[in-house]
Chain A
Amino acid sequence: MAKILVVDDDPDIVEAMRLVLEGSHHEVATASSAKEAEEQTVAVKPDLILLDIMMPEGTEGFQFVWKLRNRMPEEVRQTPIVVLSAIHSKVDLRFYPEQSDGTYSAGEYLPVQGFIDKPAAPQELLNKVSEVLGG
């Protein structure tokens, strides 16, 4: 079973997802902000990160993805990410970095391993998790 980091600023969502994942015997760590997520990623070294992209400001999730892939310790940089998107639209997930040091050009898709609609039905969530971990 896998170590999964759930990142969402809504504690109820985090709790619900934790229960679902633990029900399938995954080990779950949680974070409610990008900063906390960074700390947890380094501390826990998760096999997978479930990331709410809209928390709490629109770009925080995007910045976290960029930082993880480019600035964080080598051993965690390639951690797979599944984005929890409440927007059900990949267009909105095109990355437009606000900082000038952003390495993604406008309109590029996020370098993540999957998207899942929020709220995800328990089975859907588990399917996605095993799909990403299995692949």
Chain B
Amino acid sequence: MEPRATNRTEALRFAEAELTERIHWFVRLRWLAAVGVVIATLGARWVLKALVPPDSLLVVALGIAGYNLLFSAWDRKLSAQGRGAIRWSHARVFANLQIAADLLCLGVLLHFSGGVENPVASFFAFHMIIASILLSREMAFAQATLATLVFAAVVGLEQAGVIRHVPLRLFMEPDFYVSDAAWLVVLSLGTTLFLIVYMTTSITGRLREREAEAAALAREVAEKAMALEQAYDELLATQKLQITYMRKTSHELRAPLSAIASTLDVVGEGLVGELQPKQRELVDRARERARGLMKLVNDLLTLLKSRAAPPRERFEAVNLDHVVREVVSLLADRADHEQVTVTTDLPAGLTPVWGDDELLDQIVTNLVANAVKYTPAGGAVHISADADEECVTLRVADTGIGIAEEDLPRVFDEFYRTKQGREFTSRGTGLGLAIVKAIADAHGAAISVESQPGQGTSFTVRFARADRVASDSA
């Protein structure tokens, strides 16, 4: 599978990055080790009264410091290339050489401090852990082999008498180093080292793969986010263009429509001569259609204007009760004509809302006109408003034909008219409630609708209180 392979390569890259980053570890740790050897030697002499030859050990410490000076110079030379420029192959050779040197040095140190008797042999484990983290698995096993061989060489050469055993006499019998049991120590140390390498490389390998996966995932998410953002920008631009075209088209349509309506009016009113009844009927029908079309174009323009996010700086404190009263008086004739009673319940001193007075006028006009239109003769429309801590709530309720439940989610869609609505009256552009929704959105107002078919409909809009917004922005 390709992603997995990619993750492997990626994991390797992480390992390389880690090595070049941590290459300085060795030198620093080694200074500590040199100091540690000196302290341990002196400590062993005074505290443990152990019979180790301190001179040889101090020489070894000096040796460690000596070759560390060389490595330190090498490290500085590598670093001078800049961290990012350190080549992986150089770093690997450098790390391997240092670990190997340390293993040999630990062997020498062990020899001068009791050989197989000295529990410090377990310090080989540290190098195995470092090698497992920083080197490839194969290299780490190679180092484990070297460590085991070095230890075995110390034990073997001491047993053979090639080099003189330095007795520690701490925990073991003086002749332990020549016993077969000494080989048991070598075997268990070797096994421990191999197990450490095996476990550590398994864990770091898995961690690196996870790291690589996370990085790949993060990259993928970032790419997707960028693509999404781009798509969104394109969509926004398209939408803007669409709105511009629609606005232009609507404006272009309105001029001739206006001329048609005006001209028909003149004829219909008999200003250029009396009409025969049939002529009058046809002209009236044409007038009606022209007005309908005019309304559609106007509604469309209002909708586009509301959608184009009206500038917030134009917002001000608006008395909703004034707006409602004005709208009701403007629509009074129409309501009378439809025989619909319009009542209001507006508390005195209603808290002003934060908004654009023109758009608020539009939202109330559309809600009330809609309620009047879809309420049969003899019905009623009730407009109420009240304020709570957070909002000013406007409610327009009617005893009209209602909206079927399945239509409720779509009533705010543009050009959507319910079946019952169309059956009740042919008039209507299907834009009124879309305008209402757009204006509510522009004001950050929540709008909801409840309806019972045959019983009536109630629209509720919750506007922000002007004083809240004003104090928020202050």
A residues near B (Cβ < 8 Å) are 10, 12-13, 15-17, 19-20, 23, 86-91, 118-122
Q: Which of B348-384 contact A (CB under 8 A)?
A: 356-358
**For residue A12, which residues in chain B have a CB less than 8 angstroms away from its CB?**
259-260, 262-263
In the bound assembly, the distance between CA atoms of A90 and B357 in angstroms comes to 10
Nearest-CB distance from A6 to chain B (Å)? 11
Are B269 and A13 in touch, CB under 8 angstroms? Answer: no
A-B contact pairs, 11 of them (CB 8 A): A13-B258, A13-B259, A16-B259, A23-B271, A86-B254, A90-B358, A118-B258, A119-B259, A119-B265, A119-B294, A122-B265
If A20-B269, A20-B271, A23-B271 touch, whether A119 touches B356 (CB-CB below 8 Å) is no
Are B255 and A16 in touch, CB under 8 angstroms? Answer: no
Are B298 and A16 in touch, CB under 8 angstroms? Answer: no
In the bound assembly, the distance between CA atoms of A19 and B269 in angstroms comes to 10
B residues near A (Cβ < 8 Å) are 254-255, 257-263, 265-266, 269, 271-272, 294, 298, 301-302, 305, 314, 356-358
In the bound assembly, the distance between CA atoms of A119 and B298 in angstroms comes to 11
Nearest-CB distance from B56 to chain A (Å)? 94
**For residue B269, which residues in chain A have a CB less than 8 angstroms away from its CB?**
20, 23, 122
Are B356 and A16 in touch, CB under 8 angstroms? Answer: no
In the bound assembly, the distance between CA atoms of A12 and B261 in angstroms comes to 10
In the bound assembly, the distance between CA atoms of A20 and B255 in angstroms comes to 19
If A10-B259, A119-B294 touch, whether A16 touches B265 (CB-CB below 8 Å) is yes
Q: Which residue of B lies closest to A118 (CB)?
A: B258
Identify which of B259, B262, B298 contacts A88 (C-beta below 8 A). Answer: B298
**For residue A119, which residues in chain B have a CB less than 8 angstroms away from its CB?**
257-259, 261-262, 265, 294
- List 9 tightest A-B contacts by C-beta distance, closest first: A16-B262, A12-B259, A91-B358, A119-B258, A23-B271, A119-B262, A119-B261, A19-B266, A16-B266
**For residue B358, which residues in chain A have a CB less than 8 angstroms away from its CB?**
89-91
Q: Which residue of B lies closest to A24 (CB)?
A: B271
Interface core residue of B259, B263, B357 (most chain A CB under 10 Å): B259
Are A86 and B258 in touch, CB under 8 angstroms? Answer: yes
Q: Which residue of B lies closest to A88 (CB)?
A: B298
Q: How many A-B residue pairs have CB under 8 A?
A: 53
**For residue B272, which residues in chain A have a CB less than 8 angstroms away from its CB?**
19
If A20-B271, A119-B294 touch, whether A10 touches B258 (CB-CB below 8 Å) is yes
Nearest-CB distance from A96 to chain B (Å)? 12
**For residue A118, which residues in chain B have a CB less than 8 angstroms away from its CB?**
258
**For residue A122, which residues in chain B have a CB less than 8 angstroms away from its CB?**
265-266, 269, 271
Are B266 and A20 in touch, CB under 8 angstroms? Answer: yes
Nearest-CB distance from A110 to chain B (Å)? 15
In the bound assembly, the distance between CA atoms of A20 and B314 in angstroms comes to 38
Nearest-CB distance from A88 to chain B (Å)? 6
Nearest-CB distance from A54 to chain B (Å)? 9
**For residue A13, which residues in chain B have a CB less than 8 angstroms away from its CB?**
258-259, 262
Nearest-CB distance from B223 to chain A (Å)? 44
In the bound assembly, the distance between CA atoms of A118 and B261 in angstroms comes to 10
Identify which of A16, A87, A88 contacts B263 (C-beta below 8 A). Answer: A16
**For residue A17, which residues in chain B have a CB less than 8 angstroms away from its CB?**
262
**For residue B262, which residues in chain A have a CB less than 8 angstroms away from its CB?**
12-13, 16-17, 119-120
Nearest-CB distance from B294 to chain A (Å)? 7
Are A10 and B271 in touch, CB under 8 angstroms? Answer: no
Are B265 and A10 in touch, CB under 8 angstroms? Answer: no
In the bound assembly, the distance between CA atoms of A96 and B388 in angstroms comes to 37
Are B265 and A91 in touch, CB under 8 angstroms? Answer: no
In the bound assembly, the distance between CA atoms of A109 and B257 in angstroms comes to 28
In the bound assembly, the distance between CA atoms of A118 and B294 in angstroms comes to 10
**For residue A90, which residues in chain B have a CB less than 8 angstroms away from its CB?**
358
Nearest-CB distance from B296 to chain A (Å)? 14
**For residue A120, which residues in chain B have a CB less than 8 angstroms away from its CB?**
262
Are B259 and A20 in touch, CB under 8 angstroms? Answer: no
In the bound assembly, the distance between CA atoms of A17 and B261 in angstroms comes to 11
In the bound assembly, the distance between CA atoms of A98 and B257 in angstroms comes to 30
**For residue B258, which residues in chain A have a CB less than 8 angstroms away from its CB?**
10, 13, 86, 118-119
In the bound assembly, the distance between CA atoms of A87 and B298 in angstroms comes to 8
Nearest-CB distance from A125 to chain B (Å)? 9
**For residue B263, which residues in chain A have a CB less than 8 angstroms away from its CB?**
12, 15-16
Nearest-CB distance from B110 to chain A (Å)? 90
**For residue A23, which residues in chain B have a CB less than 8 angstroms away from its CB?**
269, 271
**For residue B301, which residues in chain A have a CB less than 8 angstroms away from its CB?**
87
**For residue B314, which residues in chain A have a CB less than 8 angstroms away from its CB?**
91
**For residue A19, which residues in chain B have a CB less than 8 angstroms away from its CB?**
266, 271-272
In the bound assembly, the distance between CA atoms of A16 and B263 in angstroms comes to 5
**For residue B271, which residues in chain A have a CB less than 8 angstroms away from its CB?**
19-20, 23, 122
Q: Which residue of A lies closest to B305 (CB)?
A: A89
In the bound assembly, the distance between CA atoms of A120 and B259 in angstroms comes to 10
Identify which of A87, A88, A89, A121 contacts B265 (C-beta below 8 A). Answer: A121
